[in-house]
Amino acid sequence: MYRYDEHDHALVQDRVAQFRRQVERRMAGEITEEQFRPLRLMNGLYLQLHAYMLRVAIPYGTLDSRQMRKLAYIGRRYDKGYGHFTTRQNLQYNWPKLEETPDILAELAEVEMHAIQTSGNCIRNVTSDQYAGAAKGEIEDPRIWCEIARQWSTLHPEFSFLPRKFKIAITGCEKDRAAVKVHDIGMIMKRDEAGEVGFEVIVGGGLGRTPFIGKTIREFLPKEHFLSYLEAILRVYNQLGRRDNKYKARIKVTLHETGVEEFTRLVEEEWAEIKDSTLKLPKEEVDRIAAHFSSPPFRVLGEEARVAEARCAEDAGFAAWRRHNIAEHKASGYGIANISLKPVGEPPGDATSDQMDLMADLADEFSFGELRVTHTQNIVLPHVELDRLPELYDKLAEAGLASPNIGLLSDIICCPGLDYCALANARSIPIATQLAERYTQERQEEVGELQIKISGCINACGHHHVGHIGILGVDRRGEEHYQIQIGGSASEDAALGKILGRGFSADQVVDVVDKIIDTYLELREDGEEFIDTFRRLGNDPFKERVYGTD
């Protein structure tokens, strides 16, 4: 993975010193909270319902064991012994003290991390496929380009006061695990007819109050133009994006109101002016960054994994974990191991400092010291020998980290909801917990792949629009109330879910989901997953079951 050079180090250290001075001015009363607000927001520091919240960037979700240990340490030393992994592959601390935040940033800088641009109307942490560099069939490791984008976007002089926040996601695989079509810019690496590698460029996706699936504005962008094309899009957006209404300020609305054709024309016109500028990347620099992402020294192994297979035969628990949590690896004899942060009864994405330390140790022992954070709020050990999976499983199980539910219905994306968030209208974590408790492992396996996503308000942090089943908490005359939609997807077949009908109270919602699942089980044809059945039959059969035929 990428290691800072002296310049990267110097920037982050300067940034820490700068923020320390700003906090001192605030503590001394030299600036008001109103004046301090834009400054702290440039460093990921929010004021939440109960306390400050600090959001730490985990660039494109990749971190090493040393960084994970530092996150654990910070959780223990400056917070309440835990952290929360987010859908943006970042980590949040919910209880830092204002006066200690510069120290936290200094600790992070020691391990090449920061909180720059984790909030504010700027280009946020670039996200990617959690299996990057490990996935089979990948065109190229997208993290090379994420890192190039990270540097380019860091303290960008022109794009730090955009109409609204701006999120970029890049994937190198056809199978989309980074939800690129629901980002402000999504990029998919592909080859053109001549075999050259470049990007399909998708613009204007997003969730929130006004969800849109992104539109392709360029089928193929040669790699060398990566930065100039990004700069062209941002420059058009910075000038054209609405400033009069924050709910209409995201690029998805700009694209919608301008029209895809006209917007594309403006971008191409701007790009023509700057494509051969100094933004054109010299091969030397791309190679320098790419070298950081070369594969670790895999052992030469056969396809067969006798030890793991033998354990599967005698241990149904391990077999389930092997089946659901291990993904195919590009190297023979290796697998990608997912650690579920969705044990029944816990807030999705939370990890204690002890768990983080353990995951760091396991990364060293089993995965060349590498870890990933997924946008579904789980952790990945990207390079594990298949025959060492039983060992890994035992250690995870001992720490309560071996839930075999990746991709199953209890692997829920869920926002903090009314329990923690000032914006929320309804609680979301208790709904996730009730759902997870309702279904046994056997029942979940029978249902198969099913993504449930829950948001506590229309800002859609829980991505309910793109859940196979999406649940949205709303306020109805002071009561928590939930709307249900079905048929969404955040993958390469991205789609927005359709609202089923009138909403439900908190004590009805789990029964309603149960009815939807029953309907699917009755109607599915051989091998059909939930989303396939929905696409074949539409909303009607589910509606009839839930509301009756009246």
Partner 1 sequence: MALIERREGGAAAIDDRFERVEDEVALPASGGVIVSLARFEAEREALLAREGDVGVWLASNEPPKALADVLDRLAVVACDFPAFSDGRAFSYARLLRERYDYKGEIRAIGDVLLEQIPFMVRSGFNTFEIDDPTALDEFRAVCDEVRVVYQPTGDGQTTALQRRLGQHRAP
Angle at the Cα of 379 (from 373 to 380), degrees rounded to 5? 95
Interhelix angle for 65-78 vs 101-110, to 10°?
160
Q: Residues 474, 426: contact at Cβ < 8 Å? A: yes
259 binds partner 1 (CB under 8 A): no
**190-198, 273-281, 464-472, 541-549 -> range binding partner 1 (CB under 8 A):** 273-281
Specify the residue, 145 or 530, whose C-beta has the smaller distance to partner 1.
Answer: 145
How far apart are alpha carbons 152 and 130 in whole angstroms? 22
Written as six digits, the tokens of 114 are 């920061």
Q: Residues 209, 230: contact at Cβ < 8 Å? A: no
Q: Which residues, other chains included, contact 400 with Cβ-Cβ below 8 Å and sequence gap of 6+?
A: 343, 355
228 binds partner 1 (CB under 8 A): no
- Report the run of H or E that residue 291 belongs to, with start and end: helix 283-291
Our CA dihedral for 69, 71, 74, 76, rounded to 10 degrees, sits at: -70
224 binds partner 1 (CB under 8 A): no
How far apart are alpha carbons 234 and 156 in whole angstroms? 11
Nearest to 94 by CA among 55, 43, 41, 40: 55
Residues found in the chain:
550
442 binds partner 1 (CB under 8 A): no
Among 2, 60, 159, 530, binds partner 1 (CB under 8 A): 159
**6-14, 180-188, 327-335, 506-514 -> range binding partner 1 (CB under 8 A):** 6-14
**8-16, 367-375, 413-421, 469-477 -> range binding partner 1 (CB under 8 A):** 8-16
How far apart are alpha carbons 288 and 292 in whole angstroms? 7
Alpha carbon distances (Å) from 526 to 4, 529, 535, 538:
51, 9, 15, 18
Written as six digits, the tokens of 127 are 């996200």
Specify the residue, 156 or 498, whose C-beta has the smaller distance to partner 1.
Answer: 156
Q: Which residues, other chains included, contact 540 with Cβ-Cβ below 8 Å and sequence gap of 6+?
A: none
φ, ψ for residue 335, nearest 5 deg: -140, 165
Q: Residues 122, 161: contact at Cβ < 8 Å? A: yes
Specify the residue, 258 or 483, whose C-beta has the smaller distance to partner 1.
Answer: 258
How far apart are alpha carbons 276 and 143 in whole angstroms? 24
SS3 411: coil
Contact pattern from residue 352 through residue 391 relative to partner 1, giving x for each residue in contact according to CB under 8 A and a dash for the rest? ----------------------------------------
Name which of residues 160 to 179 contact partner 1 (CB under 8 A).
Answer: 160-162
Name which of residues 18 to 57 contact partner 1 (CB under 8 A).
Answer: 18, 21-22, 38-39, 42
Name which of residues 470 to 499 contact partner 1 (CB under 8 A).
Answer: none
106 binds partner 1 (CB under 8 A): no
The CB-of-230 to partner 1 minimum distance in angstroms stands at: 11
Specify the residue, 6 or 550, whose C-beta has the smaller distance to partner 1.
Answer: 6
The CB-of-120 to partner 1 minimum distance in angstroms stands at: 9
**7-15, 43-51, 192-200, 478-486 -> range binding partner 1 (CB under 8 A):** 7-15
Specify the residue, 10 or 27, whose C-beta has the smaller distance to partner 1.
Answer: 10
The CB-of-66 to partner 1 minimum distance in angstroms stands at: 23
The CB-of-233 to partner 1 minimum distance in angstroms stands at: 12
Name which of residues 113 to 142 contact partner 1 (CB under 8 A).
Answer: 121
Among 137, 259, 282, 302, binds partner 1 (CB under 8 A): 282
243 binds partner 1 (CB under 8 A): yes
The CB-of-183 to partner 1 minimum distance in angstroms stands at: 21
**183-191, 278-286, 357-365, 442-450 -> range binding partner 1 (CB under 8 A):** 278-286
Query: Residue with structure tokens 């987010």?
Result: 86
Nearest to 292 by CA among 94, 143, 460, 451: 143
Q: Residues 165, 208: contact at Cβ < 8 Å? A: no
Contact pattern from residue 283 through residue 322 relative to partner 1, giving x for each residue in contact according to CB under 8 A and a dash for the rest? -xx--x----------------------------------
Nearest to 395 by CA among 333, 337, 470: 337
Specify the residue, 102 or 456, whose C-beta has the smaller distance to partner 1.
Answer: 102
459 binds partner 1 (CB under 8 A): no
Contact pattern from residue 178 through residue 217 relative to partner 1, giving x for each residue in contact according to CB under 8 A and a dash for the rest? ----------------------------------------
**82-90, 102-110, 238-246, 487-495 -> range binding partner 1 (CB under 8 A):** 238-246
- Find the DSSP H helices in 82-225: 101-110, 143-153
Specify the residue, 239 or 505, whose C-beta has the smaller distance to partner 1.
Answer: 239
Nearest to 145 by CA among 11, 37, 249, 286: 286
* Binding footprint of partner 1 on the chain (CB under 8 A): 5, 7-8, 10-11, 14-15, 17-18, 21-22, 38-39, 42, 121, 151-152, 154-162, 235, 238-239, 243, 273, 277-279, 282, 284-285, 288
